[in-house]
Structure 1
Amino acid sequence: MNEMTTGAMDIASMSVAVALVIIGLVAWFFVNRASVKANQQIQLLEALLDEQKRQNIMLRRLTDAVAGKEQAAKASDESEDKDFTRLIPER
């Protein structure tokens, strides 16, 4: 009878070890999956940041060009006769 309880204990301890290994593998799978998704999101955010930097540079160039044209237009307007009709907004 003592031999039967020893065999049952071996099977129980082995099943507990197998269950722990399976639980560990499942936990590792989800942690690894989350890590991969986080890395992908970081790469996408870095690409978005680079794109925004390029857009900011293009916007600065555009606003500098428009500001230069406005300054040239102001200089030409100042040379013309000043009248009060420009102060009245159109409806």
Structure 2
Amino acid sequence: MGELVNSGLLNVASMVISVIVMVIGLVFWFFVNRASSRTNEQIELLEALLDQQKRQNALLRRLCEANEPEEKDVPKAPVEAAKEDEDDFIRLVAER
């Protein structure tokens, strides 16, 4: 008779443990699923932001190209004058 009581208790205990494990699993699944869906939303928002930034960059490039003055042949004399100015500056630095 004791064996019947013990086996009944084991069945109830195993049933309770199964229910507890199932509840913990469902709670874990809920939080993982929630985090996953929020992550997917954030990824979609970031992709939309990236697309808008690409469009803005293209517009800025077009604006810069439109406002850019046409370069003509620049005489090389200013470049030589700049080198002479650098030499003058070096002469002014005190030596140690």
Paired-residue identity, % = 12
- Gapped regions of structure 1 (runs ≥ 5): 1-5
Counterparts of 1:1-91 in structure 2, within 5 Å, are 6=1, 8-74=2-68, 76-78=69-71, 82=74, 84=78
Cα RMSD of the aligned pairs, angstroms, is 2.0
What is the TM-score when the length of structure 1 is the normalising length? 0.73
User: 1:34 is matched by which residue type in structure 2?
Assistant: F
What is the TM-score when the length of structure 2 is the normalising length? 0.70
Deviation at 1:77, TM superposition (A): 4.0
Q: Write 1 or 2 for the structure with the bigger share of helix.
A: 1
Q: Matched residues in 2 for 1:54 and 1:82: separation?
A: 44
- Gapped regions of structure 2 (runs ≥ 5): 83-96
User: 2:52 is matched by which residue type in structure 1?
Assistant: M
Structure 1 runs (4+) greater than 3 angstroms displaced: 81-85
Q: 1:16-75, CA deviations, whole angstroms, 9 ceiling, x for partnerless residues?
A: 11110111011101111111111111111110111011101110111011101121233x
Q: Matched residues in 1 for 2:15 and 2:61: separation?
A: 68
Q: Give the total of aligned pairs.
A: 78
